[in-house]
């Protein structure tokens, strides 16, 4: 069963399990508070419990699931306070990333940013992947900071709140101020002042938080 050298699967079963569960959490197939049973997941993706368990550990370290000894693994729901906390952390980390990115942005980058902004806006009308586009937009900017650990941390924080963004976006309307806020960020990047761009990005993220947490409060999204 294990010896198919021709298989082009991912290098390890653990990695496969990790990505599978991660995707499930991000798309809210696995909802906050839901218990993840190793055996079920293992059989679904055709492996034993062990690599799944190891994937759990990775997810737990990233704060995406909670493992209590002898009580299994549950998807980590965030309280309203925790959602806010994640936004605070993103606020300073993405602020830092933007500050570092500013001197490295070239005209190609700005062209791509305009494109991403458009795509985000268009997806908002028809498709439901505004969240993914929005994420792309932020990540593209941050990628210019050229700081791998910083990027990974930002991405990890984003995954954490992505399910809540999706719920929000699904129930409420698309954030109408988003377009202009993001345009303002692009303008600020073009202006080339790192401190100003950092401040603007920080503020942008922080001001998004109350809207989302307020909505989460209404719909009892917290854990």
Partner DNA sequence: ATTTGGATGAGTGTATCCACTTATCCAATG
Partner DNA sequence: CATTGGATAAGTGGATACACTCATCCAAAT
DSSP strands (E only) in the chain: 35-36, 65-68, 72-75
Question: Under the criterion CB under 8 A, does residue 119 sit at the interface with a second copy?
Answer: no
In the complex, the smallest distance separating the C-beta of residue 192 from a second copy, rounded to whole angstroms, is 20
Q: C-beta of 128: minimal distance to DNA in Å?
A: 31
On whether the CB atoms of residues 216 and 168 are closer than 8 A, the answer is yes
- Cβ atoms of 201 and 94 within 8 Å: the answer is yes
Question: Taking a C-beta distance cutoff of 8 angstroms, is the pair 41, 21 a contact?
Answer: yes
Tell me how many residues contact a second copy (CB under 8 A). 29
6 binds, among DNA, a second copy, none (CB under 5 to 8 A by kind): none
Told to check if 62 binds a second copy by CB under 8 A, we report: yes
Query: Which residues, in sequence order, are CB contacts of 89 under 8 Å at separation 6+?
Result: 157
By CB under 7 A, what part of segment 68-87 binds DNA?
69-73
44 contacts DNA (rule: CB under 7 A) = no
- Report what 62 binds from a second copy, DNA, none; CB cut-off 5-8 Å by kind: a second copy
Among the listed residues 67, 68, 66, 70, the one whose alpha carbon sits nearest the alpha carbon of residue 79:
66
- Range 135-174, binding a second copy (CB under 8 A): 147-150, 153
Instruction: Give the residue among 86, 78, 81 at the shortest CA–CA distance from 223.
Output: 78
Site for DNA, rule CB under 7 A: 1-3, 5, 12-14, 35, 37-39, 42, 47-51, 53-54, 67, 69-73
């Amino acid at each position: 069963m294990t010896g198919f050298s021709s298989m082009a699967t991912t290098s390890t079963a653990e990695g496969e399990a990790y990505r599978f569960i991660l995707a499930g959490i991000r798309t809210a197939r696995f909802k906050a508070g839901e218990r993840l049973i190793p055996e079920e997941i293992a059989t679904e993706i055709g492996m034993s419990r062990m690599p799944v368990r190891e994937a759990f550990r990775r997810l737990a370290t990233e704060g995406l699931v909670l493992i209590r000894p002898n009580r299994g693994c549950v998807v980590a729901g965030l309280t309203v306070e925790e959602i806010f906390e994640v936004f605070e952390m993103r606020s300073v980390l993405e602020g830092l990333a933007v500050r570092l990115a500013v001197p490295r942005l070239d005209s190609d980058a700005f062209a791509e940013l305009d494109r991403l902004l458009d795509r985000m806006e268009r997806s908002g009308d028809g498709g439901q992947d505004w969240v993914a586009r929005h994420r792309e937009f932020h990540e593209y900017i941050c990628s210019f900071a050229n700081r791998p650990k910083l990027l990974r941390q930002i991405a990890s924080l984003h995954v954490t709140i992505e399910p809540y963004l999706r719920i929000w976006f699904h129930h409420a309307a698309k954030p109408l101020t988003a377009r202009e806020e993001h345009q303002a960020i692009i303008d600020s990047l073009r202006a080339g002042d790192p401190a100003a761009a950092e401040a603007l990005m920080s503020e942008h993220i922080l001001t998004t938080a109350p809207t989302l947490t307020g909505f989460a409060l209404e719909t009892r999204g917290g854990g």
